[in-house]
Structure 1
């Protein structure tokens, strides 16, 4: 049986313990969970799936339920700066000691069963939440839904934020097929909130086939923006003059609306006041999603982890709306399994100059490969002169003139490098 005294040592070992970095399936995690928690003690649970918007939905739920006075556990991935960000109670990352103690219990329980890095983290979060007696746990799906480790928990309400093409090697190449994977989190007789405004028919059909209770944005619930805020309605339920979400972008109204539908559906179990909803909307925070930082030279820095065409389309629209007629200098990198050409094509008209930074993770696109993509797109306003983030950041910042915007986007790893750079300074 393995034991480590520090969280970094645990994580380093977990990264090489399992033969596959991504190994979808429920059997291993479910088996260990039954040993850890034989009485199946489970807090009220909301599971959030989707291609984009999962993290935002969890952040909204966390902020609102915390404002309502409940003890809230939230499990998300990936992290940006510290692993502890993945497991939070009332918005605060739990301690190294708490995670290490959970890993010790998991290690004792697993015997000869091999677990992936993600399965270790998921089991640790579930173990910590029930032992901490949280009132509600919010579980973000890592990939897909049907075979994702968080799906070992029978959720009390499921929310699917959006369906787009991503992770095709694991989830399929069409929205219809991907929707079936996402719908794996739906449960019989439980609310199935669908936040995609144009969902594949397979998503709603899966909910019906599972005897879940589907609620779709635009039909079963909706929102309306106006000069003094926005309104939300679902049948005879209405919330008027809500404050604009602290998370920026039109898509955040859809995410917030879906969250309000989930909250409304669970209101008999865990009541929430309108005051708590307003407070949560105003105070919600999520690093790396249209995160704006004012640099010391007066240039606004915008960070976004968006890494697929749908996410960067939203980013491009936000740049046009929030920074009209301003030159954008982009520091950019992506993972090699993403639609890099599609992302670059969408952002080409929005970016004045590109700075590509190679990342150290094996999954990242190489400089030579991304050079070829830029060349095929006939984009020449790009520099490949950097071996690390600090050099690209210094060059891009120096290149910015008054009224320009500095953008860092394309990867969680890249946003992490940026925040570490800023923290160091």
Structure 2
């Protein structure tokens, strides 16, 4: 959510920042609404002052026995009361219109975000690892002999439809091991607090984390009106909604491993093979709530937390900063980490780490008390995948595949797999 006062102070800069995202200028419409709203508020306040003055004079007129003046003043008080009510109602309606208009406007990009139209204009900032050269044509994850029997799309389609999968046997165990490895690393090494969070949330939580009203079609809603979370960013970030935190509590660093649900609206025909793009998937999420002065450094810290997981697993990756045309609605800067998938001969996203500045905090009224006193200020919120578990499974399987259909697994997973390090071509662990 944007601060209308900031738009009022520099509308040209606001429109210029939106133009970097490819959006049309909106400041003139917003300020016209704001001017009407403020005029109604001023009119109501003026009428209130006149009513208060007349109310005081009513008693004086009655005390003097001046019935004519008494009746005139009583009529004036009633008139002003109606006028105040009308102006307040109109101001409230205009305020709702303004809030609704602001809710559909994306966050403004940070100055260092590269301009561009789409993913082709993203800029690589780092690369780690060298994709190995296979002496055979590498397969996609679902084609590997040791995986195929335990990655069951047909049965999942029978129970749930397309874009679902049932993982079985050793593959299900590797998937679970990856999630445990991620959570343990975040808690033991990265100083994040583990949270077992709900996967059903209310409208307010979705709105406060900028998923509503614009992107409701991309999420699932129950008959009772609850939302299945697209990511645990929603409950973790919204956990500070309405709070005024002591500055000493910042930063707050949280992590959760949850099921996530997305309708994948608008993605028809994309990544239909395998489990790269699913309606239901698992993700380990990182969320930080920080002092505004610390949020840029915190984003880099979170990025390294995610990158280190891939390095520990031995997965080659590259990190890109998203251009203005490819950033998410609520982000002011986003880094994507893309893991190397030899079966696709391509780098594919496995994590996004974003800072929203105070964009979400304004929507959910999350503030902190400065250590040196003064008025409460809005916190900054950040979120990042650490990592997408299913996509990490894909990366592990494809990078570790062998010519005989077996998979060499990362040593980091051995403690979670009973000391086993190989997924055999027959689908068993050894």
TM-score tier, shorter chain, comes to under 0.3
Q: TM-score, normalised by structure 1?
A: 0.20
Q: Identify the structure with bigger relative contact order (alpha carbons < 8 Å, sequence gap 6+).
A: 2
TM-score scaled by length of structure 2? 0.19
- Which of the two has higher C-alpha Rg? 2
